[in-house]
Every structure is written in C-alpha cells, then in structure tokens.
C-alpha cells in the first residue's frame, strides 16, 4: 500500500500518541526515589493536570481577560503574515519574526517556527528573522527553509540532548564549540549558502560586555554578511563567560549572550523601518515562556535573580568555581520581566506605529539546560501544533521530521529482515 493512501483503523496523531505512551513508560522506569509519580499513568495524569491549569488560566479564570487582550494583538499580526504569504507583492507592510532566548527550550521555539512554516508563512515571504541566544539557531534554520528547520530541530533533540553539550565541566558547562561543529560539519550542518540566498533577512542579537554600572548594550548583527560566518554569530549570541567555552570574536570584538539585555524591540523596528521607510512593520515574537509561566515571573533585585540564575543555569558548576560578579549581574538583568510588559509593548506600538504580537509557548517540563530527548521532542510537537492551530491551519495527521542517517539505516535493516522473514 502506498504511503499516501489512507490506512484502515489508523488513529489521527497515531505516531505522536505512541511516542507519548512510550515516553511516559520511560519516565516511570527512570523516576527518582522521591518522585510523586510512580507509573506511566501517573506521569500522564500529572502532565494532563499541568495542561488543564494552563487552559484554565487562559480561558476560565481572571487571567482569561488578560490572555484575550494579548490575543487581540497577536491575531491580526498572524493574519498579516498569512496575507503576505498569499500575495507578497500586494501588501504595504513588512513582517518580522523574533525568536527569543530560552536555552534548550529553543526546541519548543523551533517547533513553533515549524508550525508557522506549515501554516504557509515561510521564509519565502517573511521579510526578517531575528534570533536571540539559542533562538538564533532557530532563526537561521527558519530562513533556510523547512528542510533546514527539520534538520536543526533534529539536532536539538538528538546530539544536543547529550552530555557532550551540557555537563559539569569547568568553564565549559554548555559546550558551544560542540554546537558550532555540528552546525558546520556532518549531517546536521546548516546549508549556509541556502540561508544567504533566501528572501528572508537574518539578524542576530548580541550584547557588548558591561562597563561599570551601565546596562548591556545591544548590537544587531547581519548574519548573512558577517565576515566570520553565521554560525559564529550564533555562538556569539549564546556566549556566557566561564560557562560556554571559548568565546569567538566578530570584527575583532567580543560579544555576549543576546539575552543579557532586555528585548530590543524598538531598536529592531527602527532598523527595519530604516530599510522600508514607507511600509508598516508587523512583528511576531516567539517566546519560550508559557502564558501560565509568565504570571510567576516578577521583577526582583539583581542579587535575588542572580541566585536563581546560578541555580537554574550554572548549578552544574557547583564545586568547580563560580561566575564572576559582573557575569551574574549581566545574567540577572537579562531575565527581569516587567509586570507591565504588555503595556510597554503597547506603548512601543504607538510610538513606532508597528503591530506586535506574542506567541506564548505551551507549558513544558523543560528547563534551560534540559537534555531529555523525550521532553525536547514533546516540546517540538506541542509547539508546532499550537502554532498551526493559532494560525488557523489544518492539523496534519503526522508532523514532518528529519530522520538521522543512523535511524534510517536501522529502519532499512529492520524492513529487510521483515521482508526476508515473510
């Protein structure tokens, strides 16, 4: 029977249902001694409860009104992206995707980018993709097209979901040279020429090292033209002193993680408008945070946030030394989220005459340094389907994915054995 023919008794989303059932079984087998969940069913119910809480906060409780206001901003922006995809020559605006930081939660952002691509708003019509920190690798893959995006997503859920990338190592807990090698060599390498030839521009956000008491200054790098190459720009945007290994230079200058500074939305809009003076700007921001999680993020002192960051990001360094005070302070400033975030964005909209929408991530168990391949793949799937739904597109029975060469060989051997046995 042809792969394109419908199969009898096939459930919709069958592949993902089987994946999740296996994932809960593995969670039960590998649970810690203090885990509240003991069986696969326990883990399934805990996850369902988490999703129910997120649903209630969006649609039932008091925060539903706040979510509706966010969506009132985002929906017209998504519609503009789709309108541009249908008639790119007939629109009087330019579109900008911003893929934000989030460490390994970039797997979810990659899934959301895939969902947008599948809904029709691809790099063939989107004008700009802006990447920040781990969002920079997603941005580059999105610009390269679906094949590159799938290959990059497989990289996030495959070789990056290993201790070779994140593990307790002095000065190199997050092994960015390993990431750079994957991006440049082997089956996961990004096709840099395809990215350069794409219609969509690619910008990467980096920050200058802090000087004294002043906050980090942002630079917007054109990753298609940077002399050292787009993979070097990506690594620069993710670099943290004493955490990510040797930090490269761009044009002879050292830069740090683009997420150290507040989102430079105004600077991005102004730069886009300088290149398109007679067109309106439509911005769609992909964040690693869920709407549920946003409520728990409050401003705090740099000292308090520094401690939280040290626990969340640099815990693997315990016993191996600590980060210097300037790095902690720079990390702390990067994660402060104002309580009036939405009002701030609304003020920027009025000031710049741009339209800004935010795509919240589905709730997830992922942390910034998670390397659980099951959880990473789950984040990809849920984020992709969430984006497809929000763009109003039809859900596919199966999401496309890149199958690594090793798995292709294993599948071919298994099929050969089955055919021989028959």
| Order of strands across the sheet that contains 218-222 | 218-222, 201-207, 128-132, 93-99, 280-290, 355-361
What is the distance between the alpha carbons of residues 285 and 99, in angstroms, rounded to a whole number? 6
Q: If DSSP codes are grouped into helix, strand and coil, which group holds residue 276? A: coil
Cα(350)–Cα(406) distance, rounded to whole angstroms?
Answer: 52
Domains of the chain and any CATH numbers = 13-61 (no CATH), 75-421 (3.40.1090)
> Tens-of-pLDDT digits for all 422 residues of the chain?
334 434 444 455 666 667 667 776 777 777 776 676 667 677 667 766 666 666 565 555 556 777 788 899 999 999 999 999 999 999 999 999 999 988 899 999 999 999 999 999 999 999 999 999 999 999 999 999 999 999 999 999 999 999 999 998 888 899 999 999 999 999 999 999 999 999 999 999 999 988 777 778 899 999 999 999 999 999 999 999 989 999 999 999 999 999 888 888 999 999 999 999 999 999 999 988 777 665 433 333 333 333 433 333 333 333 333 445 555 444 444 333 433 467 778 888 899 999 999 999 888 878 888 888 999 999 999 999 999 999 999 999 999 999 887 777 777 777 767 777 77
3-state secondary structure at position 257: coil
Q: CA 367 to CA 106: how far, in whole Å?
A: 10
pTM here is: 0.77
Alpha-carbon distance of 110 to 355, in angstroms, equals 23
Q: What is the rounded CA–CA span in Å between residue 348 and residue 356? A: 9
List phi, psi (to 5°) of 96.
-135, 125
């Amino acid at each position: 029977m042809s792969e394109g023919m419908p199969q009898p008794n096939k459930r919709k989303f069958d592949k993902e249902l089987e994946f999740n059932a296996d994932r809960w079984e593995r969670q039960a087998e590998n649970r810690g001694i203090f885990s509240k969940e003991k069986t696969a069913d326990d883990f399934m119910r805990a996850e369902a409860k988490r999703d129910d809480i997120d649903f209630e906060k969006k649609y039932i409780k008091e925060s539903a009104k706040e979510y509706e206001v966010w969506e009132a901003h985002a929906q017209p922006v998504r519609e503009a992206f789709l309108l541009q995809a249908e008639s790119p020559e007939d629109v009087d605006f330019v579109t900008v995707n911003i893929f934000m930081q989030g460490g390994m939660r970039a797997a979810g952002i990659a899934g959301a980018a895939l969902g947008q691509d599948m809904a029709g708003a691809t790099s063939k019509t989107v004008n700009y993709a802006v990447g920040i920190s781990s969002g920079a690798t997603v941005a580059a893959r999105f610009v390269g097209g679906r094949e590159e995006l799938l290959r990059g997503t497989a990289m996030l859920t495959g070789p990056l979901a290993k201790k070779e990338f994140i593990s307790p190592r002095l000065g190199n807990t997050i092994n960015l040279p390993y990431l750079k090698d994957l991006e440049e060599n082997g089956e996961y390498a990004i096709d840099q020429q395809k990215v350069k030839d794409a219609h969509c521009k690619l910008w990467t956000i980096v920050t200058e090292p802090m000087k004294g008491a002043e906050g980090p200054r942002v630079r917007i790098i054109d990753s298609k033209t940077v002399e050292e190459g787009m993979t070097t720009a990506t690594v620069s945007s993710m670099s943290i002193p004493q955490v990510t290994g040797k930090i490269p230079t761009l044009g002879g200058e050292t830069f740090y993680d683009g997420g150290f500074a507040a989102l430079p939305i105004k600077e991005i809009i102004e730069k886009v408008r300088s290149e398109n003076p007679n067109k309106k700007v439509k911005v769609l921001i992909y964040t690693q945070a869920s709407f549920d999680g946003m409520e728990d993020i409050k401003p705090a002192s740099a000292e308090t946030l520094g401690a939280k960051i040290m626990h969340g990001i640099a815990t693997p360094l315990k016993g191996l030394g600590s980060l210097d005070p300037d790095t902690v302070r720079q990390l702390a400033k990067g994660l402060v989220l104002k309580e009036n975030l939405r009002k701030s964005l609304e003020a920027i909209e009025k000031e710049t005459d741009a339209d800004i929408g935010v795509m919240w991530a589905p709730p997830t168990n992922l942390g910034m340094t998670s390397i659980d391949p099951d959880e990473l793949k789950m984040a990809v799937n849920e984020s992709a389907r969430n984006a497809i739904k929000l763009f109003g597109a039809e859900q596919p029975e199966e999401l496309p994915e890149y199958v690594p060469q090793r798995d292709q060989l294993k599948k071919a051997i298994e099929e050969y054995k089955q055919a021989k046995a028959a």
